[in-house]
């Protein structure tokens, strides 16, 4: 086990690079209820990590932050079972 992760610390995976990090090192986003809101407003940042709904975690790497807005629309459609 690495030195940065405590024994009982929660671990989450970045949706872009799929690497695992301690939860406190990631940024959590929650998606709006509808795909229309997602397309206009985008995912909502959840710095306190307490908002209800499906959370998506993104690490601090620039390439992951750049990829995330493009990925989230597809993730939401897949989650809701919508097709175009």
Helices (H), the chain: 35-41, 62-80
Instruction: Indicate yes or no: pTM above 0.85.
Output: no
What local confidence, expressed as pLDDT, does residue 6 receive? 63
- Domains, the chain, in order of start with CATH, read 11-80 (3.30.1230.10)
- What confidence tens digit (pLDDT) does each residue in 6-48 have? 678 999 999 999 999 999 999 999 877 666 776 677 788 899 9
Query: Measured between alpha carbons, how far is 18 from 27 in angstroms, rounded to an integer?
Result: 14
Contacts of 20 (CB under 8 A, 6+ apart): 11, 12, 13, 14
Long-range contacts: 1-7, Cβ < 8 Å, 24+? none
Tokens matching residue 27:
């940024």
- Banded pLDDT at 5 (limits 50, 70, 90): low
């Amino acid at each position: 086990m690495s030195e940065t992760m405590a024994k009982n610390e929660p671990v989450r995976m970045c949706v872009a690079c799929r690497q695992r990090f301690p939860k406190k090192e990631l940024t959590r986003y929650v998606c709006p209820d509808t795909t229309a809101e997602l397309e206009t407003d985008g995912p909502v940042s959840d710095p306190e990590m307490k908002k209800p709904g499906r959370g998506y975690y993104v690490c601090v790497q620039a390439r992951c932050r750049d990829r995330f807005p493009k990925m989230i629309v597809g993730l939401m459609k897949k989650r809701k079972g919508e097709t175009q």
